[in-house]
A = this chain, B = another copy of it.
Amino acid sequence: MSRYYRLVVSCPDQVGIVARVANFIAQQGGSITEASQHSDLETGRFFMRYEILADSLAMGPDAFSEAFRPVADDFQMDWAVTDTGKLPKVVIMVSKESHCLVDLLYRWQGGELACDIVGVLSNHDDMRSLTEWYGIPYQHIPVNPDDKQPAFDAVEAQIEALQADCVILARYMQILPPALCQRLSGRVINIHHSFLPSFAGAKPYHQAYQRGVKLIGATCHYVTEELDAGPIIEQDIHRVTHCHTPKDLVRFGRDVEKSVLARGVRWHLEDRVIIHGNKTVVFN
Contact = CB atoms under 8 A, between A and B. Distances in A.
Interface string A202-234: 000000000111110100000000000001111
Most chain B beta carbons < 10 A, residue from A41, A212, A236: A212
A23 interface: yes
A222 to B, nearest CB: 11
Interface stretch (A79-87, A154-162, A167-175, A275-283): A275-283
A259 B252 CA distance: 11
A149 interface: no
A195 interface: yes
Given A29-B15, A237-B237, A212 B22 contact: no
A63 interface: no
Q: Chain A interface secondary structure, helix, strand, loop or mixed? A: mixed
Contacts of A213: 196-197, 232, 235
Contacts of A133: 133
A35 B15 contact: no
B39 A34 contact: yes
A1 to B, nearest CB: 11
A33 interface: yes
A56 B39 CA distance: 15
